[in-house]
Structure 1
Amino acid sequence: MKRIDIYIMRQLGLSLIAVTTGLAALVWLTQSLRFIELVLDRGLSIWVFLELTGLLLPSFFGVILPITAFVVTLFTYVRLSSDRELVVMRAAGLSNWQLAKPALGVAAMAMSICFVLNLWITPASHEAFREWQFEIRNQMAGLLLQEGVFSSVGDDLTVYARDRDSSGMLKGIMVHDARERGAPVTILAETGRITSTPQGPRVTLFNGQRQQVERVVQPDGTTVMRLSVLSFQENSVDLARANRAEGQRFRNAQERSLSELFNPEEGVSIRDRGRFLAEAHQRLSGPITAVSFSLLALAVALTGQFRRFGGGFHLFAGCILMVGLLALGLGIGNVAARQSALLPLIWVQALLPGLISAWALSGLPGAPAAIRSYAR
């Protein structure tokens, strides 16, 4: 490998690592704030919070790498042009493709990393994240009750305890259970204790009352509400979510493997099948954009007439094109998830910018002479 290639590749590689890591950390910080309530409301430790949100990092890297490959390539080559280093390299007889070879090598490595992330690591980490989040919110929540706080176990079960002693005994307990539609139950008890079972957490209550509001149909056909009160010495309430059959949850497209996306199980709706297909095609086409976007950056930086103070224009033009492509990609992904006939557009958005950029780097063969002379 030529020293020039090593020189440019070193700059690209170090910049890619630094920019990708910094941007991923920024995205992780902004996204992890959505889960801070798990620490504040559920009483989890900061280490559990970091481990939980850390499972999101692979998905961030898979999305960020193609973008940072474009940014690093564009800024590196524009700087080389502004410092007149590209002028010297061209004077030495290097063509556009010879100058682009280091960037394409770095882009190929980024593409390989994205394939590994998209096809194996990201689905596994996303599934682990969703499983852990589901367990915390719907199962472990019963074991993480805080004194004097109304703790929600899912959307239809609320537990309150006035005090907890050193042995784990709860005092002054209120349980509001709305899992049975149309017949909410409120239980008040003097004391109680929470235990963990294979089916989920349960609370055993002592010396209390069970109040339930029921709809009663009168002989004349009218419906009235009736409050029934039952006193008890001991009662047990299941704190696990009872509205999910056998504790199972529906796995979304992001946490399924590629084979599951193309061949979902029976019972999946047509709408979800469309989302699965769109996710599968985006996983396969997304890594290719690392090379495609890098070619776009090279076309912006290496083509066009040399300007002594023209670096700013190239950066502005490249960033505008990149923002447009990202917005277009988001729109195509959303539309293709609803209309499977538009799935080829995902591949068009991933490949077409790179093909057009490669044509520009080759000198626009077949284009009018005036345009080809400007591209040199």
Structure 2
Amino acid sequence: MTLLERYILKIAFTAFAACLIALTGVIWITQALRELDLLTGKGQTLFIFLTVTGLSLPALINVISPVALFLATIYALNKLNGDSELIVMSAAGMRPLRLLRPFLVLATFVCFVVGMITIYIMPASFQELRNLFTKIRADFVGTMAKEGQFITLENGITFHYRERAGDALLGIFMEDQRVKDKVVVYLAERGQTVETNGQAYLVLEKGSVQRKEPNSHDSSIVVFERYAVDLAAFNQDGGDIIYKPRERSTTQLLFPDKNELLYQYQEGRFRAELHDRLSSWLYPFAMMAIAFAALGDARTTRQGRGLAVAAAVLGVVALRIAGFAASGAVVRTPAAVVGVYGVPFLATVLSMMIVLQGASIRKAQARLRAVGRALIPSRNRSVQGA
């Protein structure tokens, strides 16, 4: 890479890093504000809060990186043109493909980062985030319950205890309304949370369990001296975590368990998630190519570039809309997989054709000007001879 190409790459990379950090920071702050309920309402520590918000960063970077590359390409080309450097390069005979080379290097780097995040890092972060939220919800006794207050969880669990005596809770009331027609009420004089083999249990002492029979006004009461309640059961039936397609590893999407009920019910979403991951690295190339096709030509300072920038923005918007449409179609039919890869590939090819066509036109214009300069002296000599 020549000194000039390294200079262009430095400008583009600096703009890319600035856009990526700024956009990621702004969106991350908005996400963090939404998770403040972890500190205020659910009694979690600052470490848990930072962990939850930090696990969302790979997804943000994955979405923002292609946009940041697009903005960096526009900024770099506008800066080079505004300082008349692009005009000098064009007048010196610098080919568009040579000018494109630094942007291709940067786009290759961004594609690698996006591919690694999408295929490996982002699914792992989503899975860890699900595990963390599951643990927080399962440990609602130790993290959310307040002395003398009734708390109600989203899944229909209501919990209350009168006071705390050391590690024990006194005067416990717990109502399970997860099944509307089968309400279960736990009453106990004393209780304590115990963790065994990674499972959390609430051990109740000297109490009773009241169960209302479905579709009936009858109920049964069982008195106990000691009773253990699996807290994980209040989170998922059976205590097992069922991961969504986006929370599965890429290997699990490539080789799914076809006997799994979730896969049989959402096979299209599994297929769409897999091909979205495998095609995500194509979008940085496409967005960079669109920006370069719109602004890669040298123009004088009197020639406005606003229409070119607007055309590039519209091109990127159309690209993303077409990509989302293709992804949605894959859920319904496997034949739409071609569109998932074809949309960014076609956008890249069309943009490169525009760049090469513009280069051919400029080369033809240069030849015509050279022929014109050669003809003018000969005409002058013929006039002087006459």
Q: Shift in Å at residue 235 of structure 1?
A: 3.8
Relative to structure 1, the CA distance from residue 59 to residue 261 in structure 2 (aligned partners, 3 Å threshold; closer, same or farther) is same
One-letter code aligned to 1:18 = A
SS in structure 2 at match of 1:42: coil
* Match 1:250 to one of 242, 246, 260: 242
Relative to structure 1, the CA distance from residue 251 to residue 227 in structure 2 (aligned partners, 3 Å threshold; closer, same or farther) is closer
The question of whether the paired residues in 2 share the 8 Å contact of 1:74 and 1:315 is answered with: yes
Greater helix share, structure number: 2
Relative to structure 1, the CA distance from residue 109 to residue 83 in structure 2 (aligned partners, 3 Å threshold; closer, same or farther) is same
Q: C-alpha distance in 1, partners of 2:72/2:94?
A: 21
Instruction: Give the equivalent residue in structure 2 for 1:73.
Output: 73
Instruction: Give the equivalent residue in structure 2 for 1:169.
Output: 168
Instruction: Give the equivalent residue in structure 2 for 1:286.
Output: 280
SS in structure 1 at match of 2:94: coil
SS in structure 1 at match of 2:195: strand
Q: C-alpha distance in 1, partners of 2:178/2:195?
A: 20
Per-residue displacement from partner, 1:50-87 (whole Å, max 9, x unpaired)? 11221121122122211111111012202322332211
The question of whether the paired residues in 2 share the 8 Å contact of 1:148 and 1:163 is answered with: yes
The question of whether the paired residues in 2 share the 8 Å contact of 1:78 and 1:315 is answered with: no
Q: Is residue 314 from structure 1 mapped to residue 308 from structure 2 by the alignment? A: yes
SS in structure 1 at match of 2:269: helix
Q: C-alpha distance in 1, partners of 2:244/2:253?
A: 10
One-letter code aligned to 2:168 = M
SS in structure 2 at match of 1:240: helix
One-letter code aligned to 2:344 = A
What pairs up with 1:230-309 in 2 under 5 angstroms?
230=222, 232-241=224-233, 244=236, 246-268=238-260, 269-303=263-297, 308-309=302-303
One-letter code aligned to 1:49 = F
Instruction: Give the equivalent residue in structure 1 for 2:158.
Output: 158
Q: C-alpha distance in 1, partners of 2:203/2:254?
A: 46
Q: Shift in Å at residue 304 of structure 1?
A: 8.3
One-letter code aligned to 2:202 = V
Instruction: Give the equivalent residue in structure 1 for 2:332.
Output: 338
Q: Shift in Å at residue 5 of structure 1?
A: 0.9
Instruction: Give the equivalent residue in structure 1 for 2:382.
Output: none
One-letter code aligned to 2:43 = G
One-letter code aligned to 1:195 = V
Instruction: Give the equivalent residue in structure 2 for 1:193.
Output: 192
SS in structure 1 at match of 2:241: coil
Q: Is residue 226 from structure 1 mapped to residue 211 from structure 2 by the alignment? A: no
Q: C-alpha distance in 1, partners of 2:24/2:79?
A: 24
Unaligned runs of 5+ in 2: 366-386
Larger Rg: 2
Quote the RMSD (CA, aligned, Å): 2.7
The question of whether the paired residues in 2 share the 8 Å contact of 1:205 and 1:234 is answered with: yes
What pairs up with 1:1-376 in 2 under 5 angstroms?
1-137=1-137, 139-144=138-143, 145-152=145-152, 155-165=155-165, 167-179=166-178, 182-198=181-197, 200-215=199-214, 224-230=216-222, 232-241=224-233, 244=236, 246-268=238-260, 269-303=263-297, 308-363=302-357
SS in structure 2 at match of 1:183: coil
Q: C-alpha distance in 2, partners of 1:239/1:270?
A: 29
SS in structure 2 at match of 1:343: helix
Q: Where do 4+ consecutive residues of structure 1 move more than 6 Å?
A: none
Q: Shift in Å at residue 253 of structure 1?
A: 1.9
After TM superposition, the score normalised by the length of structure 2 is 0.84
The question of whether the paired residues in 2 share the 8 Å contact of 1:142 and 1:202 is answered with: no
Structure 1 window deviating more from structure 2 (100-109 vs 252-261): it is 252-261
Q: Shift in Å at residue 41 of structure 1?
A: 2.9
Q: Shift in Å at residue 287 of structure 1?
A: 0.8
The question of whether the paired residues in 1 share the 8 Å contact of 2:134 and 2:235 is answered with: no
SS in structure 1 at match of 2:74: helix
Structure 1 window deviating more from structure 2 (227-236 vs 79-88): it is 227-236
Q: C-alpha distance in 2, partners of 1:126/1:35?
A: 15
The question of whether the paired residues in 2 share the 8 Å contact of 1:81 and 1:311 is answered with: no
The question of whether the paired residues in 1 share the 8 Å contact of 2:15 and 2:75 is answered with: no
Q: Shift in Å at residue 18 of structure 1?
A: 1.5
Q: Give the share of equivalent positions with the same residue, in percent.
A: 28
Instruction: Give the equivalent residue in structure 1 for 2:375.
Output: none
Q: Shift in Å at residue 121 of structure 1?
A: 1.6
